[in-house]
Amino acid sequence: MKIVCLDAATLGENVDLSVFKKFGEFISYQKTKSEEVAGRLKGVDIVITNKVIIDKAVMDAVNLKLICISATGMNNVDLEHAKAKNIAVKNVAGYSTASVVQHTFAMLFELTNHIKFYDEYVKSGEWVKSEIFTYLGADISEIAGKEFGIIGLGEIGRGVAVVARAFGANVSYYSTSGANKNSEFKQKSLDELLR
C-alpha cells in the first residue's frame, strides 16, 4: 500500500507522521501546489490532505482508495465524485471543537474589551502617568444580556452557544442545513438572526 501526505506543514512541526510507515510505503510532502497533486498521487492508494484540493480531475487521473482529510472540514474534496468513484473519504470530526470555541471567545473579548488597545496603552507607560490610574479611551461592553446569534448549530456552534449562555447572553441560532432542531436555544430565520 502506498500512502502520501500532501501538506504536512499544515499539521505543525511536532507531528510525527512516521506511524504511517507501519501500513505501507509512506511519503510526506511539506507543501503541494495544485499542479503537483496528480503527479504526486500516481500509484497511491491513500492520500492525507488538510488544505490541498482533491477534485474530479485529480481523482480521474489517479487510482485512490481512501482520502483522509486531517481536519473537520471536507470542502477541499469533491465528495460526490469520490462517492461515484467508490473512494472512501474520512475526516477528523470533532478534533478542534474546544479550541475553536475558545478562539471564538478570544476574538469576542478583543471586540468587547479592546484587550490589544488597553495592553498597548499600559505598555506605553501612559497608565502609570494617570493620577487616577484609569483610562476609558475605548468602551468596554459585557456579553451578559446581549443578543447572541450563531449561524450553524453543529458541534462547534453548540459549544459556542453553551459558553455564550454561561456568560448570560440570549442565544439564538440559524440552522444552515434546516435539519438542526435544538430545544435549548431559540431558532430563527437568517434574516431575523442578522437583524
The reported pLDDT for the residue numbered 166 is 98
Q: Which of 20-24, 49-53, 64-68, 182-186 has the lowest mean pLDDT?
A: 182-186
DSSP string, 89-138: EE--TTTTHHHHHHHHHHHHHHHHH-HHHHHHHHHTTHHHH-TTS---SS
Share above pLDDT 90 across residues of the chain, in percent, rounded to a whole number: 81
pLDDT at 65 over 90: yes
pLDDT at 177 over 90: no
Over the stretch 110-164, which tens digit does the pLDDT of each residue have? 999 999 999 999 999 988 888 888 888 889 999 999 999 999 998 899 999 999 9
- The verdict on 81 and 137 lying in the same domain is no
Contact 13, 38 (CB under 8 A): no
Given 51, 72, 90, which residue is the final one in a domain? 90
- The verdict on 119 and 187 lying in the same domain is yes
- The verdict on 86 and 112 lying in the same domain is no
The reported pLDDT for the residue numbered 113 is 94
Domain membership of residue 71 as a residue range: 2-90
Tell me the chain's radius of gyration from C-alpha atoms.
Answer: 23
Residue 96: pLDDT band (50, 70, 90) is confident
Q: Comparing 3 with 136, which gets the higher pLDDT? A: 3
- The verdict on 72 and 133 lying in the same domain is no
- The verdict on 167 and 110 lying in the same domain is yes
Total of domains in the chain: 2
* Nearest by Cα to 148 from 118, 110, 104, 117: 104
- The verdict on 70 and 16 lying in the same domain is yes
**Mean pLDDT, residues 82-89:** 98
- The verdict on 86 and 141 lying in the same domain is no
The reported pLDDT for the residue numbered 73 is 85
**Mean pLDDT, residues 80-84:** 97
Output 128-136 pairs: Cβ under 8 A, ≥24 positions apart: none
Burial class of residue 183 (count of CB atoms within 10 Å of its CB; 0-12, 13-18, 19+) = exposed
Average pLDDT over the chain reads 94
Determine the length of the chain. Answer: 195
DSSP string, 30-91: S---GGGHHHHTTT-SEEEESSS-B-HHHHHHS--SEEEESSS--TTB-HHHHHHTT-EEE-
* Nearest by Cα to 97 from 133, 70, 72: 72
Given 64, 90, 116, which residue is the final one in a domain? 90
Contact 170, 150 (CB under 8 A): no
- The verdict on 105 and 53 lying in the same domain is no
Given 56, 90, 124, which residue is the final one in a domain? 90
Residue 88: pLDDT band (50, 70, 90) is very high
